[in-house]
A and B are shown apart, each in its own frame.
Chain A
Amino acid sequence: MKYMLLMMTTDIGQPPITEWEPADVRAHIEFMAKFTQDLVSSGELVDGQGLALPDEARIVTARDGGPATVTDGPFPESKEFLAGYWIVDVDGLDRALEIAAEASASPGPGGIRLNHPIEVRQVMDAPPVGDV
């Protein structure tokens, strides 16, 4: 079963990573690299991407009788935006939740866990094979 793990940045009462101590930044980078590498080694990672920060993001909406509108956003000030995702292929929901819990516990300033929320969603499957 495939699950998508969405890493949302929400206001968890921490300054942005660019304002952390160098050692904390380094610990966070190492944690993330190892986390992804472990999923590759266990044969569970399907895909994982980090998204560029939303400074240059746009929202496009089609319009009747005219060209689509393009607006800036979501703004980094809005505090909640998608930072990245992983798609994992695992035995079941329990394992997906376990992986998400690990990602949520990435180290923040002073080595304290960030505990940021990870949204876990099942990826739609092919129709079942067999009796019709």
Chain B
Amino acid sequence: MTEPRIEDLLRELAPQVLGALMRRYDDFAAAEDAVQEALIAAATQWPADGLPDYPRGWLIQVASRRMLDQLRNEQARRRREDQVAAVSSEPVPVDDVDDTLVVLFMCCHPALKPAAAIALTLRAVGGLSTAEIASAFLIPEATMAQRISRAKARIKASGLPFRMPTEAERPARLAAVLHVLYLIFNEGHTATSGTSLNRVELSSEAIRLTRAVHALLPEVGEVAGLLALMLLTDARRPARTGPDGTLVPLSEQDRSRWDAGAIAEGTALITATLPRGTTGPYQILAAINAVHDEAARAEDTDWPQILALYGVLDHLSDNPMVALNHAIATAMVHGPAAGLALLDKLDADRRMAATHRLDATRAHLLELAGDAEPAVAHYRRAAARTTSIPERNYLTLRAATLAANHR
């Protein structure tokens, strides 16, 4: 077995091993550390010695030995020798329960802030090391280590039992899990200034984890919807940036560079899911992206269908970003003036005040309407307010090009 395949296997097994330890010791923080040590041991030994007959059992045994050592050391330090005997050193029975979901629900605990839940999920469920996670978010390793250990302490303090959420809790808890996965995906999808050499592919990792959740909960429409949305969005990634790192908008992308396999998989998934009823926002967003992806040329886009889908989404959620996209779709179907009229309604929305997107969208629609001068002004304003360098470059260039053409 080659090393990349060993790495894949280890990361798939990580949450299962953690689950097995949790069932026995119920100490999340210590169990999680022990699993990381077992993963490191396997990553060095397996390529040299060959794969053990039962990789999962091997990892559970090694991790629980580490855990016992750790508990004994702790107890010795506290001089409570009488309790040492209470720690059993019997091998941990290896059953066939896959605890990936339980671990995932735990990491996306409602008591955690998103940044903490994301970090913990990538480590405990994704099997990434602290150094890899730190590098993916471009922050120092020591800071990431603290973030993770504080998250674990918080979960421990919450006293949350290691089990699946009850039927009543489940919708809210599952929504939190999907939100964390979506945030991980978006973090990877947002192009950064790119000074980091080995940035872990966060988008691919989010897809891998969502795929695992979908395999365990195939009947839940929003899980399938999120997976389809990720596949259909990620399919466009190769065409999303130019050779110099600048952003290329959807309408100008070289569609031959889109990943046809990912589009086919995402489209099949959402096509099979939508007719099953109880539609949620991820499924609608996936459907919108499927419509975009099936157009061979930008001008072939079925905008009336996209407009209808945004209409449904607008009713499902009170999100000004959805309203913004609804305005774009309206402009594409009924003309820029109709889209601009919808944007005017967003001026009063305080949630829009902090973003440059209203300016960027207004600039775009004004440009479509042939109103160059105010379009340039709004592009410039958006460029001054965005916090993404590729996007700032894009908006600056757009303003410059439009100004040059109308001089």
Contacts and interface: CB of A to CB of B under 8 A. Distances in A.
Nearest to B397: A25
Given A33-B245, A52-B386, A19 B397 contact: no
A74 B404 CA distance: 31
A49 B397 CA distance: 21
Contacts of A53: 384-385
Contacts of A22: 397, 400-401, 404
Given A29-B393, A33-B245, A53-B385, A21 B404 contact: yes
B264 interface: no
Interface in B327-358: 354
A40 interface: yes
A48 B195 CA distance: 7
A50 B396 contact: no
Contact of A18 (B246, B389, B399): B399
A47 interface: yes
Contact of A52 (B195, B379, B380, B385): B385
- Classify chain A: how many residues form its interface, as a range: 20 to 34
A49 B244 contact: no
A75 interface: no
30 contacts: A17-B396, A18-B379, A18-B383, A18-B396, A18-B399, A18-B400, A19-B400, A21-B400, A21-B404, A22-B397, A22-B400, A22-B401, A25-B400, A26-B397, A29-B246, A30-B244, A33-B244, A33-B245, A36-B193, A36-B195, A47-B195, A48-B193, A48-B195, A49-B193, A50-B193, A50-B389, A52-B385, A53-B385, A56-B354, A76-B384
Contacts of B399: 18
Contacts of A56: 354, 385
A25 B400 CA distance: 8
A72 interface: no
A55 interface: yes
A29 B244 contact: yes
Interface in B364-407: 379-380, 383-387, 389, 393, 396-397, 399-401, 403-404
Q: Indicate the size class of the contact surface on chain B.
A: 20 to 34
B160 interface: no
A49 B389 CA distance: 10
B246 A20 contact: no
Interface in B212-253: 244-246
A45 interface: yes
Contacts of A45: 195
A29 B404 CA distance: 18
Contacts of A33: 244-245
Contacts of B195: 36, 40, 45, 47-48
A112 to B, nearest CB: 16
B385 A25 contact: no
Nearest to A18: B380
Contacts of B354: 56
A33 B401 CA distance: 20
A52 B396 CA distance: 14
